[in-house]
Amino acid sequence: MTPLPARDGVAHGDIRRSAGAPNSSYFVNWKSPTDSITWDIDVHTTGEYDVTILYTCPEADAGATVELSFNGSRLSGKVAPGWNPPLYTNQDTIPRPLVESQMKEFRPLKLGTIKLASGRGQLTLRATEVPGRSVMDLRQVMLTLRP
C-alpha cells in the first residue's frame, strides 16, 4: 500500500490547499476540468493497483468523473455518493493558527484498478466532467498492489 497524501501533491489551476501548512492540508476549490493534481512517483513494481481516494463532496455536486493517469495508463471513475461532513470544531484547546487546516472526516472511494508499469513519472488526477459546482475536496490517493 502506498499512500499519496495531499501533502505530497502539487495543485494546478485554481485548486488550492485547505491551509498554508501542507502537512495537515487537503485540496479544495476544485471546480474545473482544466484543474489537476499531480504526484511525482517512482513505481518499483509493475502490476495492477487498486486505487482508493479519501474525499468529501457536497451531495448536490456528486457525480463528477475523474481520471487518474500515469505514463499512458488511465483509470476513470465517478465521485459519488456525496459526503460533506462538518469541520471538526472541538480539536483544539487554544486557537488554531491560520496556516493549519481544520480537519473533517473523509470517506474512502474505490475508484477502480489501474495497471502501472515500473518507472518514474507524474501521476495525474483530473476531472473530465464536472456536473455540479465542484469536483471534491481530496485528502489522499492510495495505491494498493494486487497480489
Q: Where are the domains of the chain?
A: 2-145
CB 136 within 8 A of CB 80: no
pLDDT computed for residue 114 by the predictor = 98
pLDDT computed for residue 88 by the predictor = 66
Bridge pairing between strands 107-116 and 137-145: unpaired
pLDDT computed for residue 103 by the predictor = 76
How far is residue 112's CA from residue 94's CA, in Å, rounded to a whole number? 41
pLDDT computed for residue 99 by the predictor = 63
pLDDT computed for residue 20 by the predictor = 80
CA 59, 64, 66: angle at the middle one, nearest 5?
135
Which mean pLDDT values do the consecutive 10-residue runs of the chain (147 residues) have?
96 94 87 98 98 98 98 98 81 65 89 98 98 97 97
Cell digits for 82?
456525496
pLDDT computed for residue 140 by the predictor = 98
**CATH number 2.40.37.10 given to 2-145:** no
